[in-house]
Structure 1
Amino acid sequence: MVGMERYLQQIEPALAAARDWIVTPSAWGQIVALALAVLLGWGAAALVRPMLLRLLSPAAGATGSLSLLRRQLRRLLPLLGPLFAAAFAAFGEEALRALFGTAGIAAFGKRVFLFLAVRAFVRDVLREPFLRAYGRFVVLPIVAVYAVGLMPTVAAALSTMRMPLGNLSFDLLWAMKFALFGGLIFWAGRWSNERSTAYLAGQEELRPATRQLAIKTAEVAIFGLAFLVLMNVMGVNLTSLAVIGGAIGVGIGLGLQQIASNFISGIILLIEGQATVGDYVELDGGEAGTIVKMTLRSIILETFDGKWIVVPNEHFITTRVVNYSDQGSANRLEAAFSVSYDTDINRVPAIIEAAVAKHPKVLGHPEAPDCELRGFGDSGIDFAVEFWVSGLDDGPNKYVSDVLFLIWNALKEAGIEIPYPHRVVELRGPEGGMRF
C-alpha cells in the first residue's frame, strides 16, 4: 500500500496536467480534427471508389499496356480511405498549429493513417512472396516506429549499437538501412532483368547467339547498376571499390583461372555464334546432345535419353566440336541394304530413289536421294541410299527407320529378294563326304 501511494503521488502531477490539458480548446480541436479526418477520409473514399472502379476496369480480355496499367492502379483502391484520412489530418494539423501553436495529437493521427495505408498496401496490393515478406518484416516495423513518434530515439539507439565483423564493424542502423534499401533495389533489378530477358528473347530477327549475348549483357549491366546504386545510397565511397577489384584480381590470379577462362570463353562463344541454343553438337570427349542453355560459365547439353550434361565453355574453345546444326540446316543420312545375286542390279537405283523421294521429310536440295552400289557381300549385293533431311535421326525423328521401311516395301513390290545368310555344311567319313 505504501508503494502504491508513493506511485500515485509521483504520477499525480502528470494526471493533473492531463486533466488541465484535456479541457483546453487545443485538445478538443485536435480530437475533433481527427474525428473529421476519419469521417471525411473514408466518406470521400466511398464516393470516389465507384468512379475509379469504372475508370480503371478495362474491357474483358484486353491485353494492352494501358489495360495492364489500369489493372495495376485498380489494385490500389484499398489505400483510398487511409490516404484521404491522412490528407485531412495533415490539413487539420497545419490549421491547428496556426491557431494554437501545437497539434501533437493531429500529427500522431496522421502518422497512424499513413501506417494503415502502408499496411493495406502490403496486405492487399503486394502479391509476390518476396515483396510481401519484405513489406511485412522490414517496411511495416519501420513505419510502426515512425507512427508512434519513436523514429529519432530508435535511430539514435541503433546507431550506438555496433556489430563486429572481423576487423570491421558496423552499427545496427546501417544494417537496417541496408536491409531496407538493398532488398528493394535488388528486387527492382531482378524485375528489370526478367522484363529485359523476355523482351530480348522475343526479338526473332536477331541470331540466337546474339540474343543470348544481349540477355547476359543486360543482366550484368542491371545488377552492376543496382550494386552501385546501393553502395551510393549506403554512403560507401565508390573509390574504395578499387581495393575490392584488386582483391578479386588477386583471387583470379591465385585460384580462379578456370572460372575466368570459362567466363571469357562464354563471351567469345556468344559473340561468334558458332554454337547456339538448339544446335546438336558432339565434343571430342564423346559428349553429344542438343544445347538447351548457354550461361557465362557453361553450356548445358540434353541427350536424347533426357540426361543433361554440363560442359564448361572452355571445352568449346580448346577442343574439336562437331556441330550438326539442328536449326533447319540439312544433314545427309544413309540407309544400307542388300539384294540377292539373282537380281538385275541395274533396276535397283531407280526403284529405291523413287521410293525414298516419297518421304515427306526427305529433301530434294542440295541433292535428291542417291542409291549407290557398295560391294559384293557373302550373301548378297550391298547397296546404300544417301538422302538429305532437315534435322537429326534421333529423338522425335526416325528418318533412317522410315526409309528402311520404304526400301523393304519397294523391293517387295518389285519382286526383288532381300538375301539372308546361307551356309554349306560338309560331313566327311570313311565312306566319303555328305554335303548339306
Structure 2
Amino acid sequence: MTPDELSQLPLDQVQEIAVGLLERSLLFLSGLMRPWNAYQLIIALAIFAAAHVLAGVLKPRIYDWMRGLEGWPKWQMRALVIMHRRFRTILFVLLIWTVVAVMQDVTWPSRSYLLEVIAQLASAWLFIAFATRLIINGFVRALVRYGAWAWVTLSILGLTSEARNVLDNFAMTVGSTRLSLWLLLQAMVTLGLLIFVARFLATTSSARIRRNDEISPSMQVLAIKFLQVVLYGTAFFFGLKLVGVDLTGLAVLSGAIGVGLGFGLQKVVSNLVSGIIILLDKSIKPGDVISLGETFGWIQSLGARYVSVVTRDGKEYLIPNEDLITGQVVNWSHSNDFVRLDIFFGTAYQNDPHKVRRIAIDAAVGVTRVLNFKPPVCHIVGFGDSSLDYILRFWISDPTGGLTNIRGDVYLALWDAFQENGISIPFPQREVKMLEGSSLRTMKSAERTDLPD
C-alpha cells in the first residue's frame, strides 16, 4: 500500500464516523429540547447551586475542626484534606443521587434519565480524582486523570466504539506489525497501570526488607535492587504482551542495541558489575566509615553506578563503584567499629619519661570517647634534637563521630595534664658560641665604622 493510499483510507473512514457523530449529536440536542429533558437540566443546575452554597457554609467549619485534630495518622489527615478540597463535588454527587432515587420512585424512569447520566458522570469523575491522587508524579497524574475522564465520559455516553474506530484508523504498518493510535493508547494505559502496581509492590517490599534486622545492610540493598529490576521488567514485557506487541522482533532489536551499547558504555557497565560485586562480597555497606585517597566519610547509600560518601564538612562525594573495586579503600568499620588512633608529642629531657607516660595515659583515659576496656598505651619512639618523642595510642568505637575532633580532645587533655604536673613541651632552640679571638659586631657599629672621617 502506497503512502497516499495509507493516508486516504483513514480520512474517508474518519469522515463517515464524523458524520455519524454529528447526526447523533443533533439527535441528542433535539432531545434536550423536550420539556422533561429541559427540566432535568434545570434541576441539575439547581442541585449544583445548592451544593455550592452548602460547601461555602460548611467548608470553613470543617477546616476549623480539622485544625483541632491531634494524634491522627498522617494518611488519614491527607485523606481529609483531599476530601475537603473536593467537598462541593461530594455534596453535588450525594444530592443528585438522592434526587434521582426520589424521582424514580414518584415518576417514570425516562423523566430522570438525564439526571442519572449526569450523576454517573459526576461520580466517575470524583472517583478518578481520588484514585489518581495515589500517583506521585504530577505530570503522570494529570495525564492519567484527564485520559480517564475522557474515556469514562465516552463510555457513559455510549461513544466508545466510535472513538475506538477513529483511533484505530490512524495506523501504520512496520513489517508484520500494525501500529495504530488505539494500540499506542492501550499500551500507555496498560504499561502505566502495571508500572504503578510494580512501583507500589516495590515500595512496600523495600520497606519490609529495611525493617528486617536479620538481613545485613548490603544484602538489603541488593535484594531491593533485584526486586525492582524484576518487578519493572515484568511489568514492561507483560504490558507489551497484553497489547499484542510481538516480543520476538523486540528481542532481536534489543540484542543488536545491546551489542552497540556494550562498546560505548563500557564504564557504565563496569560500574554496574562492580556495584553487584560490592553488594555480594559485603565489603562496604551503608553506615561504614571509609577513606579513599583524600576522601574520608561515611557511606550514605549504595547506588547501581556510584556510592554516596558524606564527609564531616557536609560534602557528598559520588564515587564510582569501579574505583572502590580497583582502588585501595580503608574501611574503618568493616569487621567491627573499633579504631585505634595514634598521636605524637614530645617533652623536655629534664622530665622523667616514666612519669610522662603515666600522665599521658591517665589524660587519654579521661576523654569521653576513649575506650577504657582497651586501655591507651604510651611509648618512647626516639630522642629528638630538642625533646624526648612519644607516641600515644588509644581506641574508640564510634569512627562516625569523627577522628580529628577526638585527636584534638586528647591533645587538649595532654596540655592540661602537663600544665598541672609541671611537664614542659620544648621547642627548637639554638646556641651561638663565641670562639676565642673573635669579636661580635652589630649592624649599627658596622655602619659607624664605614662612615668617612
TM-score with structure 2 length normalisation? 0.70
- Which blocks of at least 5 consecutive residues in structure 1 are unaligned? 1-13, 41-45, 47-52
Q: Secondary structure at the match of 1:263?
A: helix
Tell me how far 1:241 sits from its aligned partner.
Answer: 4.5
Deviations 1:245-297 (A, max 9, x none): 423542354333333332222122112211011222233x5544322221122
Tell me how far 1:399 sits from its aligned partner.
Answer: 0.8
Q: Structure 2: how far apart are the matches of 1:428 and 1:168? A: 106
Which structure carries more helix by proportion? Answer: 2
Alpha carbons 1:371, 1:383 under 8 Å: kept: yes
In the alignment, what sits opposite 1:120? Answer: 126
Tell me how far 1:312 sits from its aligned partner.
Answer: 2.1
Alignment partner of 1:323 is 2:328: no
Tell me how far 1:164 sits from its aligned partner.
Answer: 8.0
Alignment partner of 1:342 is 2:356: no
Q: Secondary structure at the match of 2:354?
A: coil
- Select 1:61's aligned residue among 56, 59, 71: 71
Q: Structure 1: how far apart are the matches of 2:231 and 2:97? A: 36
What is the identity, as a one-letter code, of the residue corresponding to 2:421?
A: A
In structure 2, the CA distance between the partners of 1:249 and 1:70, relative to structure 1 (3 Å rule), is closer
Alignment partner of 1:154 is 2:163: yes
Alignment partner of 1:217 is 2:226: yes
Moved more, 406-415 or 292-301: 292-301
Moved more, 157-166 or 115-124: 157-166
Alpha carbons 1:189, 1:222 under 8 Å: kept: yes
Alpha carbons 2:221, 2:279 under 8 Å: kept: yes
RMSD: 4.5
Tell me how far 1:368 sits from its aligned partner.
Answer: 0.8
Q: Secondary structure at the match of 1:293?
A: strand
In the alignment, what sits opposite 1:250? Answer: 259
Q: Structure 2: how far apart are the matches of 1:212 and 1:151? A: 46
What is the identity, as a one-letter code, of the residue corresponding to 1:178?
A: A
Matched ranges for 1:295-310 at <5 A: 295-310=303-318
- Select 1:311's aligned residue among 311, 314, 319: 319
Q: Structure 2: how far apart are the matches of 1:269 and 1:212? A: 11
Tell me how far 1:381 sits from its aligned partner.
Answer: 0.7
Matched ranges for 1:57-96 at <5 A: 61-63=71-73, 82=93
Deviations 1:28-78 (A, max 9, x none): 9999999999999xxxxx9xxxxxx9xxx9x9525499x799979988996
Q: Structure 2: how far apart are the matches of 1:163 and 1:206? A: 52
Alpha carbons 1:86, 1:111 under 8 Å: kept: no
Alpha carbons 1:299, 1:313 under 8 Å: kept: yes
Alpha carbons 2:364, 2:376 under 8 Å: kept: yes
Moved more, 193-202 or 28-37: 28-37
In structure 2, the CA distance between the partners of 1:148 and 1:162, relative to structure 1 (3 Å rule), is same
Matched ranges for 1:31-430 at <5 A: 61-63=71-73, 82=93, 110-123=116-129, 126-127=132-133, 128=136, 129-130=138-139, 132-162=141-171, 170-283=179-292, 286-325=294-333, 329-365=337-373, 367-392=374-399, 395=402, 398-426=405-433
Moved more, 184-193 or 418-427: 184-193
Q: Structure 1: how far apart are the matches of 2:248 and 2:77? A: 42
Alpha carbons 1:213, 1:270 under 8 Å: kept: yes
Q: Structure 1: how far apart are the matches of 2:231 and 2:141? A: 23
Tell me the number of residue pairs that the alignment of Structure 1 and Structure 2 aligns: 395
Moved more, 400-409 or 183-192: 183-192
Q: Structure 1: how far apart are the matches of 2:435 and 2:178? A: 101
Q: Structure 1: how far apart are the matches of 2:81 and 2:190? A: 23
Tell me how far 1:414 sits from its aligned partner.
Answer: 1.1
Q: Structure 2: how far apart are the matches of 1:213 and 1:21? A: 64
Moved more, 320-329 or 379-388: 320-329
Tell me how far 1:114 sits from its aligned partner.
Answer: 2.5
- Which blocks of at least 5 consecutive residues in structure 2 are unaligned? 1-23, 48-53, 55-61, 442-453
Tell me how far 1:228 sits from its aligned partner.
Answer: 2.9
What is the identity, as a one-letter code, of the residue corresponding to 1:368?
A: P
In structure 2, the CA distance between the partners of 1:199 and 1:394, relative to structure 1 (3 Å rule), is closer
What is the identity, as a one-letter code, of the residue corresponding to 2:405?
A: K
Alpha carbons 1:278, 1:291 under 8 Å: kept: yes
In structure 2, the CA distance between the partners of 1:273 and 1:108, relative to structure 1 (3 Å rule), is farther
Tell me how far 1:313 sits from its aligned partner.
Answer: 1.6
Q: Secondary structure at the match of 2:227?
A: helix
Q: Secondary structure at the match of 2:312?
A: coil
Q: Structure 2: how far apart are the matches of 1:392 and 1:21? A: 80
Q: Secondary structure at the match of 2:353?
A: coil
Alignment partner of 1:432 is 2:441: no
Deviations 1:170-197 (A, max 9, x none): 2111222233333333233333333333
In structure 2, the CA distance between the partners of 1:240 and 1:156, relative to structure 1 (3 Å rule), is same
TM-score with structure 1 length normalisation? 0.73
What is the identity, as a one-letter code, of the residue corresponding to 2:298?
A: T
Q: Structure 2: how far apart are the matches of 1:164 and 1:72? A: 49
Alpha carbons 2:132, 2:145 under 8 Å: kept: no
Moved more, 220-229 or 249-258: 249-258
Q: Secondary structure at the match of 2:346?
A: strand
Deviations 1:189-243 (A, max 9, x none): 3333333333322323321111111221221122122213322332224455432
Tell me how far 1:350 sits from its aligned partner.
Answer: 1.2
What is the identity, as a one-letter code, of the residue corresponding to 1:256?
A: L
Tell me how far 1:324 sits from its aligned partner.
Answer: 1.4
In structure 2, the CA distance between the partners of 1:253 and 1:389, relative to structure 1 (3 Å rule), is same
Q: Structure 1: how far apart are the matches of 2:200 and 2:273? A: 26
